[in-house]
Amino acid sequence: MRDPSPPVYREIAEALRSAIASGELSDGDRVPGENDLMKRYGVARATARQALSVLINEGIVVAVRGSGVYVRTFRPLRRHGPRRLSRELWGGGRAIWQADTADRAFAADNITVRETAAPEHVARALDLPEQERVVVRRRRYLLDDRPMQLATSYLPAKLAAGTAIAEADTGPGGIYARLAELGHAPAHFTEEIRVRMPSPAEVEELALSAGTPVLDVMRTALTSDHRAVELNEMTLDGSAYILQYDFDA
Amino acid sequence: MRDPSPPVYREIAEALRSAIASGELSDGDRVPGENDLMKRYGVARATARQALSVLINEGIVVAVRGSGVYVRTFRPLRRHGPRRLSRELWGGGRAIWQADTADRAFAADNITVRETAAPEHVARALDLPEQERVVVRRRRYLLDDRPMQLATSYLPAKLAAGTAIAEADTGPGGIYARLAELGHAPAHFTEEIRVRMPSPAEVEELALSAGTPVLDVMRTALTSDHRAVELNEMTLDGSAYILQYDFDA
């Protein structure tokens, strides 16, 4: 039930929200600032600030330090689950990502590779005995220099240790092409998706604006005889992606 | 880059966050309140409140009015894209939802059905001429009396008007079973997923806690000859769902 007389800052926020919904204010437009709102509505600075912070926390406007507040532009990357993981792509030596990004400048940084005992949920996903060794590849993906995604892959050390999979540069076609060469080609994938607000460390590493949730995508890659060969835990900037899946009835 | 000396409320928030991450505080546990934090850290009430509100906005704790603040319990519903839309399910007269909810008490309410000119994005998705008429079914889904999802289906009026699809109760197997009887059985589905913070109206209708994003799932149902027969725009409580998709390389 709606409060019969909402506080003034909520009324101001609602007026701005309507202006954005109607297109009166559109992508990238400057939103009236604190001074504008104080004059227009005859309110104190704290009230104007509170109205703006409601919209910032809803993620529909973005504050740019020393500049102002702007309507958020949502131009997401389409991430097509089945198509981007088709064998034609990694089989031909292309990075999976290229399926989505066409010819935009794509890069990975902060790459680390280490070997460790499998954490419990990883052992479960990969159907390994407890404490079995795994190779852990962590990296961050950027598109046009903008951080988009954090990814951590876990592979059984028995398969991956000492191979190109454990190198910083896995070579053309990446992990999946190397697995195929080793006789463990991925044939089936399961992706599980959940959504949540980011931790402060993720806000920093993905350079997220306020009011931006993240998508967790957990992918398990299985061979044709249904052995799990990789678990990839991805954390995606929720404002940067549309995920697409096609399937049959 | 991390600030070398973060404000005290952030340090307190980080200490509580670590306690939750380590399991020292676990699902449903009461988090120290303002009074506890004031005593323990020797800070003012405003500082204690600010520390708690950081965690509330991250969605990892939930404030219960007149009671306290608790570690959020994340026991999501698994929504298995391909499996739940298999023909065996709706073909046999079961509600799609049952694939995920087993025998929990599932209900739909706030059902409205109307006919209107197709909004532009609907006309595009259904490959209809502009202004063509569509039947619009809106409803809210609840599980164990908890609102979980808002859904709005659009179907060409030429197919659906005057049929059970335009009734409040569509009968056993729902829309898809009725479409099949009319010779338009869905054979292929596309789901597009994005994530965002909810609008105030959605916070109310889905009874969302602070720091809870929503998932938008746009599903298009196509016949075996690839005619689009339904667009379903769903808005899901992001704390209530894990989405799962399986596909082949």
Could you give the domains of chain A?
A: 8-71 (1.10.10.10), 77-244 (3.40.1410.10)
Question: What per-residue confidence (pLDDT) applies to A222?
Answer: 93
- Tokens 């009461």, residue? B30
pLDDT 10s digits, A193-219:
999 999 999 999 999 998 999 999 999
% of chain A exceeding 90 in pLDDT: 65
% of chain B exceeding 70 in pLDDT: 90
Quick check: B133 and B161 in contact, CB under 8 A? yes
Question: What per-residue confidence (pLDDT) applies to A195?
Answer: 94
- Amino acid of residue A176: Y
Ranking A49-58, A99-108, A121-130 by mean pLDDT, the lowest is: A99-108
Min CA distance, B134 vs chain A (Å)? Answer: 22
Beta-carbon-side half-sphere exposure of residue B222 (alpha carbons within 13 Å): 15
Name the pLDDT band for A97 (thresholds 50, 70, 90).
Answer: low
* Average pLDDT rounded to a whole number, residues B103-113: 84
Quick check: B178 and B163 in contact, CB under 8 A? yes
Nearest to B231 by CA among B163, B164, B136: B136
Min CA distance, A206 vs chain B (Å)? Answer: 12
Asked if the Cβ–Cβ distance from B243 to A193 is below 8 Å, we say yes
Asked if the Cβ–Cβ distance from A59 to B193 is below 8 Å, we say no
* Average pLDDT rounded to a whole number, residues A43-47: 95
Q: Is the ipTM of this complex over 0.85?
A: no
Asked if the Cβ–Cβ distance from A194 to B238 is below 8 Å, we say yes
pLDDT 10s digits, A63-88:
988 889 999 876 777 787 777 677 77
Give the residue, A141 or B84, on which the prediction is more confident. A141
Name the pLDDT band for A1 (thresholds 50, 70, 90).
Answer: very low
Nearest to B136 by CA among B148, B144, B147, B150: B150
Min CA distance, B112 vs chain A (Å)? Answer: 19
Output the six-digit token pair for A72: 């958020």
Asked if the Cβ–Cβ distance from A200 to B14 is below 8 Å, we say yes
- From A190, A238, A249, residue closest to B87, measured CB to CB: A249
Reported in sequence order, the residue ranges of A58-185 that DSSP labels E, i.e. its strands, are 61-64, 68-71, 77-80, 106-117, 133-143, 146-156
Asked if the Cβ–Cβ distance from B245 to A81 is below 8 Å, we say yes
How much is the mean pLDDT over chain B? Answer: 88
Question: What per-residue confidence (pLDDT) applies to A104?
Answer: 67
pTM of the model: 0.84
